[in-house]
Amino acid sequence: MFKKNLFTCIVVGVLFTLSLVFAEEPSDVLSLSKADFNETVNPEKLILVEFFAPWCGHCKALAPEYEVAATALKDANIKLAKVDCTVEQELCSEHGVRGYPTLKVFKEGKATEYNGGRKSDLIISYMKKQSLPPVTDVTIDNFDTFKDSDEVIIIGFWDSESQNEHNIFNSVAESLRNDYIFGQTGQKDAATKAEVTTPAVVLYKKFDEGKNILKAPFTKEELENFIKVNSVPLLAEIGPENYGSYVDAGLPIAFLFYETDEQRTSLGKAIEPVAKNFKGQASFVYINASKFGQHAENINLKQQWPAFGIQNPNDEQKYPFDQSEEITTEKIQIFVSKVMKGEISPSVKSEPIPETNDGPVTVLVADSFNDIVYDKTKDVLVEFYAPWCGHCKKLAPIWDELGQSYSNSKDKIIIAKIDATANDIPTSSFKVSGFPTIKLFKAGDKEEKEIIDYQGDRTLENFIEFITKNAANKVEVNKTAPEEEKKEKKEKKETAASTPTPSASKDTVHEEL
């Protein structure tokens, strides 16, 4: 799945200093050092600073976008600056820079994290929002200019009876100020010009139908949902820069995978009527299979194009459209309708259930997960792993030893593992975001099993201590290994003593975190 932040270079090794100096073209981006950082940044009401390293690929990709944004924001008196952390190591350390690029917004010297996109238009939009109060006063004189100042603008139109909605609007504006520009007016002339009957909130946008209206009365939740649903286009391209907006909308995402521009155009015409029919129920998007085709596997689709599928980012449920079927308006309409009505079960990827599962570590697959893990009589400690994960490989012998330690008590405590790349996790009560992830599903009579995350060192002693402290069932740990295991370990030790250790070959895999 896409991540909201895919653009941070991880700091590796010791930072090095470039010794070559290149002639630079004139730039609207300020270059700062420790000597002039505070005197430049602190007086500014608003300034964006990029902490970068010249060798960082993501920094190189950001550079031209940053330059364009700096030039565009000059008229708004918003400055952009940069700090080379290979030269200014102490300054970057003072500002908690741990990866590149790191961007921070400074307001009179006080820093906050930059949470916008990395394209010039997104940087410009984000910084303009930062320059405004949470809610701007709108009058008949500035109405047109304000309404057209960004891709999406939200304006509240009030009268003397709308104090409750006014308060709700201000609260929502404060919480969403980094994402949208808000304005409000109590002027009757402004409402008349906008052809709005007060009280109401109007979302103006430079796409689709141009505006949406939410009439009072409304709750905070209704206003938030109105904004999130209507602020994304009916059918648009999705990528790392805007994926977060679709997740925030809280709706299932219907992905149309295309490989060529011709496919995008022709299939878009087929999908658009369906998108209109289900507006507010699902978000429909194009996704470039040449760039992001691997995402199809997250929806249990094969990498064959074109393809269509629905994924709910909130509970990870997925619904792949039959790839042997042609993508037509009629077929997609029926498919989406059945998904929305719950007439199609979510697709669950699962390995086959093991024919035998009597080893010290119980092997879980998606189809057996709930039956074993949610058995209320048993404490189940589960490792969610990936076969390619280096830390998982290192943990494997320790995990086997842990399973052996509780092998005489499997009626009360189970040590288990599941390949989370080959099996979907058939529950929305928790998410696995890294490997290995270890969770204890505690025995008990509660309707929902208590889940306790393991955060300690990955040693046998610490695992046993964790289980002893947190498991509902109290059992004796096997203190000595069975005779066969002792014999096997002895044979391995003798073999190792007489066999040279092989050197790493060119095929050795070096895993990342």
Q: What is the pLDDT of residues 69-81, one digit of tens each?
A: 999 999 999 999 9
- Rounded to the nearest angstrom, the gap between the alpha carbon of residue 471 and the centroid of all alpha carbons in its chain is 32
Q: Are strands 152-157 and 200-205 parallel, antiparallel or unpaired?
A: antiparallel
pLDDT bracket for residue 445 (50, 70, 90): confident
Exposed (0-12), middle (13-18) or buried (19+): which is 99, by Cβ within 10 Å?
A: middle
Triad 469, 474, 478: Cα angle to 5°: 95
Q: Once rounded to an integer, what is the mean pLDDT over residues 119-138?
A: 92
Please name the residues in contact with 238: beta carbons below 8 A apart, sequence gap of 6 or more. Answer: 246, 253, 255, 285, 286, 287
**DSSP character at residue 321:** P
Measured torsion, CA atoms of residues 166, 172, 176, 179, in degrees rounded to the nearest 10: -50
Q: Please name the residue ranges forming H helices in 176-306.
A: 188-194, 220-230, 243-249, 261-277, 289-292
User: In degrees rounded to 5, what are phi and psi of residue 146?
Assistant: -65, -45
Token pair, residue 506, equals 């060119």
CB within 8 Å of 195: residues ≥ 6 apart: none
When pLDDT is averaged across residues 139-162 and rounded to a whole number, the result is: 94
Of 303, 304, 302, 263, residue with least CA distance to 286: 263
Stretch 431-440: mean pLDDT: 91
Give the Cβ contact number of residue 336 at 10 Å. Answer: 25
In the block, tokens 């906050």 appear at 112
The DSSP secondary-structure symbol of 203 reads E
Lowest model confidence (mean pLDDT) among 179-188, 287-296, 427-436, 486-495: 486-495
Is the CB of residue 166 less than 8 Å from the CB of residue 158?
yes
Beta bridge partners of 155: 183, 202
CA proximity to 382, closest of 353, 360, 415: 415
What is the total residue count of the chain?
513
Digit-coded pLDDT (tens) for 197-235: 999 999 999 999 999 999 999 999 999 999 988 999 999
Q: Contact 372/353 with Cβ under 8 angstroms?
A: no
With contact defined as beta carbons under 8 Å apart, do 135 and 182 qualify? yes
Q: What is the pLDDT of residue 1?
A: 41
Half-sphere exposure of 304 (CA within 13 A, CB side): 11
41: phi then psi, degrees, rounded to nearest 5 = -80, -45
Contact 166, 119 (CB under 8 A): no
> Region 358-370: what's the mean pLDDT?
95
Q: How far apart are the first and last CA of the chain?
A: 17
* pLDDT above 60 (res 8): no
- pLDDT score of 482 more than 60: no
Q: Is the pLDDT of residue 492 over 80?
A: no
Residue 268's φ and ψ, nearest 5 degrees, are: -60, -40
pLDDT band at 429 (very low <50, low <70, confident <90, very high): confident
**Higher model confidence: residue 88 or residue 14?**
88
Q: Is residue 106 classed as helix, strand or coil in its secondary structure?
A: strand
Give the pLDDT score at 430. 86
- pLDDT exceeds 80 at position 387: yes
What's the pTM? Answer: 0.63
Task: Tell me which residues are annotated as active site.
Answer: 56, 59, 389, 392
Segment 308-336 mean pLDDT: 95
- What was the pLDDT predicted at 197? 95
Give the pLDDT score at 22. 39
Mean pLDDT of all residues in 8-33: 56
Residue 453 has pLDDT above 80, yes or no: yes
Contact by Cβ (8 Å): 112, 105: yes
pLDDT higher than threshold 90 for residue 448: no
173/170 Cα distance (integer angstroms): 5
Place 241 in a pLDDT band, splitting at 50, 70 and 90: confident
Tell me what pLDDT residue 479 has: 67
Residues 6+ apart with CB under 8 A from 270: 327, 328, 329, 332
More confident residue, 273 or 504: 273
| Chain centre distance of CA 12 | 23
Q: What is the pLDDT of residue 3?
A: 40
How many angstroms separate the CA atoms of 44 and 49, rounded?
12
**In whole numbers, what is the pLDDT of the chain averaged over residues?**
88
Residue 25 confidence (pLDDT): 66
pLDDT surpassing 60 at residue 189? yes
**Two tokens, residue 344:** 């199609």
Instruction: Report pLDDT for 439.
Output: 97
Q: Domains in the chain, start-ordered, CATH in brackets?
A: 9-16+25-129 (3.40.30.10), 135-230 (3.40.30.10), 235-341 (3.40.30.10), 362-483 (3.40.30.10)
As a whole number, mean pLDDT of residues 141-155 equals: 95
- Given the structure tokens 């009439």, which residue do they identify? 215
Q: For a pLDDT cut of 70, what percent of the chain falls above it?
A: 88
In 3-state terms, what secondary structure has residue 2? coil
Rounded distance, CA 222 to CA 228, Å?
A: 10
pLDDT score for 258: 98
Nearest to 370 by CA among 316, 424, 432: 424
Tokens matching residue 387: 């076969």
